[in-house]
Chains A and B, each alone.
Chain A
């Protein structure tokens, strides 16, 4: 029952909060949907911390797609041995994790010591950084230390299939039962973190302006709809 809660009920509740929360905020709180930058107050620390964290988390995201979404069988069919995969995952993932953690620590120090930034930071701002730090910290510890000292854990046989089973709506929680506690903590805290996204500044992840290079530089808009609708 405990397993059922943590690996079926809890993730679904968290994802539901995330999706509904974001839809609500997008539809009714559009004016709060932004990437709230404090660059206008402070530039020096941000120059190091922000790119380090952001690029790190992009690499980490790609790493998670490689480990969680792409099945183990895919790698074997390509002829990539488990050893080679783990070598790449530990060093590549470890580097990304360190970038995220170091970046976050710099940003956290900046947020809590530099004056206008500290004064203008809200509870949600601190909470999102601390949550991210926890999730990223456990993840990096797992990758760099647990994997190299305790056991090179093959999560592609347990957490990966379980994660995919969530999305085909046939959650197979039994896969998670034997997973090391550290990994469990990482996964559960990540889902809790997802639920927090709509209530923090993190919504800006979903408005990364990927379409910008494709649009023409100049934009005309008419005040009303008459041209678009051909009236």
Chain B
């Protein structure tokens, strides 16, 4: 058993209002510079829709993630030998157009335009070529809130998979938001795809990072990630990706996307997992078993034996305590209401989603007369088709989605009953049995999902600075009495690494 700690996130989709505040603050923090204009470490997609980059879920096109071939786990795009053979031209890499060509506006013209009969305009121009774009045709969130409707929605690979007709009439259609960041997977395919070994998973907190000194710009990570969350900077020629705002999380602060989330949909916590189990779990035969297999990798932080072993493998008390308080552990592992995004990619993603409970009021017009069990068929006829949610969150297994939606509905009914009456009926109902829950759990869930404050939503232990390299040295001592390395050339990377043993 190799116990490791992982910081993870849960997003409660019911509360997402699609305001893009997370994307904007993330962009302002990380990617508002030349070469990175088109990158969105965090983006919010309207579903159904093609997403960003367009059709990123089309595994036949980009060949991201893993597949099981003859019982062995393999990169879908091919292993190291295939990669070295195609290193001069990567057929699966996305072009910039598949994201969008970033542009800005010629604001200067508004101010410095000479006197004329017509009002001056700020024409859009490309941030890549600097040339005017007369008619931008795609951009980030071009399809926001189902814009483009029946023309754009069928581009969604999940819609294609469902096959049957999706209602596009205004009165019947459905919509949900899907905020996405890097999944910081337990079995990251970007790391395995990197020929230079520049991508790595951090031992302490499981954050997947790019070592820019080692990155050589071979670009296999870009399409190797099935979520398409590694980007190629055309200016520096290095890969860039969401870094889970590690400078913030190390200081115990939530990521900037979580901090600024208006709907407070995001939760951050620590989970403990057994790194030895990951490969086996990612290699189960049936993709629909991957969710359960992934849950099998996590360890119960309340088990004294696990606690002891965790301590032995260098996880300190603050982290173990945080793992006990972790909202992620509660929602994803204990209550099982949060699900991983596309588990069928076999990467064991670590950003979990509570599926949205679409407006059930449409179906229930006489809620006061409704018996508790009347909510069960309502769950089955939700406006967002269960098959659609299942194709995103559970490899197509609708029973997993149904369980979660029942639990969330049960919570809704019970909490409603507490004010308008009906709690006793609820306790005897078929709903509570089918949802496999109880009032105590529901009260706890309702608190975390509804009213939890900042320090309950974000339980982030600080980085373990006491385990760092010599802190005096980091602080910058002078090279007296062999306290610090000798002055002069002292590269700290690559083959020339000179780190004096102290």
Binding site for B on A (CB under 8 A): 26-28, 30-31, 33-43, 46-47, 50-51, 53-55, 115-116, 119-120, 204, 207-213, 215, 217-227, 229, 231
Given contacts A46-B89, A116-B129, A119-B129, contact A221 B200 (CB under 8 A): yes
A34 neighbours in B (Cβ, 8 Å): 215-217, 236-238
Complex Cα gap A207–B75 (Å) = 23
Give the interface size bracket for B toward A: 35 or more
> Is A212 within 8 A of B469, CB to CB?
no
B420 at interface (Cβ–Cβ under 8 A)?
no
A209 to B, closest residue via Cβ: B195
B201 at interface (Cβ–Cβ under 8 A)?
yes
Residue from A26, A33, A51, A218 having most chain B Cβ neighbours under 10 A: A218
A54 to B, closest residue via Cβ: B88
Complex Cα gap A34–B211 (Å) = 12
**What 1/0 mask marks residues of chain B from 188 to 221 whose CB sits below 8 Å from any chain A CB?**
1001100111011111100000011101111100
> Is A220 within 8 A of B201, CB to CB?
yes
Q: A120-B128, A220-B203, A224-B469 are in contact. List 13 more A-B contacts (CB 8 A).
A: A26-B496, A43-B95, A54-B88, A55-B88, A115-B129, A115-B131, A119-B129, A119-B130, A211-B197, A212-B195, A213-B80, A220-B200, A226-B468
A55 to B, closest residue via Cβ: B88
> Is A221 within 8 A of B237, CB to CB?
no
> Is A40 within 8 A of B96, CB to CB?
yes
Given contacts A31-B213, A116-B96, A212-B80, contact A219 B234 (CB under 8 A): no
> Is B84 within 8 A of A218, CB to CB?
no
Binding site for A on B (CB under 8 A): 4, 75, 79-81, 83-84, 87-91, 93-96, 128-131, 187-188, 191-192, 195-197, 199-204, 211-213, 215-219, 232, 234, 236-238, 275, 314, 463, 467-469, 489, 491, 493-496, 499, 501
Given contacts A30-B494, A218-B192, A220-B202, contact A37 B219 (CB under 8 A): yes
> Is A223 within 8 A of B219, CB to CB?
no
B499 neighbours in A (Cβ, 8 Å): 225
> Is B237 within 8 A of A36, CB to CB?
yes
Complex Cα gap A159–B83 (Å) = 37
A223 neighbours in B (Cβ, 8 Å): 202-204, 463, 468
> Is B203 within 8 A of A26, CB to CB?
no
B213 neighbours in A (Cβ, 8 Å): 30-31
Residue from B90, B192, B237 having most chain A Cβ neighbours under 10 A: B237
- Measured CB to CB, the closest approach of chain B to A207, in angstroms, equals 5
B494 neighbours in A (Cβ, 8 Å): 26-27, 30
CB < 8 Å neighbour of A222 from B188, B195, B199, B203 = B203
> Is B203 within 8 A of A221, CB to CB?
yes
Complex Cα gap A82–B494 (Å) = 45
Complex Cα gap A33–B494 (Å) = 12
Complex Cα gap A204–B203 (Å) = 29
B465 to A, closest residue via Cβ: A224
Residue from A43, A210, A223 having most chain B Cβ neighbours under 10 A: A223
CB < 8 Å neighbour of B236 from A26, A27, A31 = A31
Complex Cα gap A201–B463 (Å) = 38
B491 neighbours in A (Cβ, 8 Å): 27-28
> Is B468 within 8 A of A224, CB to CB?
yes
Complex Cα gap A214–B432 (Å) = 53
- Measured CB to CB, the closest approach of chain B to A32, in angstroms, equals 8
CB < 8 Å neighbour of B196 from A26, A54, A120, A207 = A207
9 tightest CB-CB pairs across the interface, nearest first?
Answer: A209-B195, A217-B192, A34-B217, A222-B203, A213-B80, A34-B237, A54-B88, A36-B237, A221-B200
B239 to A, closest residue via Cβ: A34
> Is B192 within 8 A of A35, CB to CB?
no
CB < 8 Å neighbour of B201 from A33, A36, A218 = A218
Complex Cα gap A213–B79 (Å) = 8
> Is B216 within 8 A of A204, CB to CB?
yes
- Measured CB to CB, the closest approach of chain A to B126, in angstroms, equals 8
- Measured CB to CB, the closest approach of chain A to B43, in angstroms, equals 18
CB < 8 Å neighbour of B501 from A30, A39, A229 = A229
- Measured CB to CB, the closest approach of chain B to A185, in angstroms, equals 28
> Is B88 within 8 A of A225, CB to CB?
no
A53 neighbours in B (Cβ, 8 Å): 88
Given contacts A218-B188, A219-B201, A220-B203, contact A47 B91 (CB under 8 A): yes
B95 neighbours in A (Cβ, 8 Å): 39-43
Complex Cα gap A27–B275 (Å) = 35
Complex Cα gap A88–B317 (Å) = 70
Complex Cα gap A39–B219 (Å) = 9
B186 to A, closest residue via Cβ: A218
B238 neighbours in A (Cβ, 8 Å): 31, 34
Complex Cα gap A120–B35 (Å) = 11
Complex Cα gap A207–B194 (Å) = 13
B204 neighbours in A (Cβ, 8 Å): 222-223
- Measured CB to CB, the closest approach of chain A to B221, in angstroms, equals 12
Given contacts A207-B216, A209-B216, contact A225 B469 (CB under 8 A): yes
> Is B496 within 8 A of A35, CB to CB?
no
B75 to A, closest residue via Cβ: A217
> Is B84 within 8 A of A39, CB to CB?
no
Complex Cα gap A227–B2 (Å) = 14
A43 neighbours in B (Cβ, 8 Å): 93, 95
B129 neighbours in A (Cβ, 8 Å): 115-116, 119
A218 neighbours in B (Cβ, 8 Å): 187-188, 191-192, 201
B93 neighbours in A (Cβ, 8 Å): 39-40, 43
A35 neighbours in B (Cβ, 8 Å): 216-218, 237
Complex Cα gap A136–B202 (Å) = 45
A36 neighbours in B (Cβ, 8 Å): 217, 237
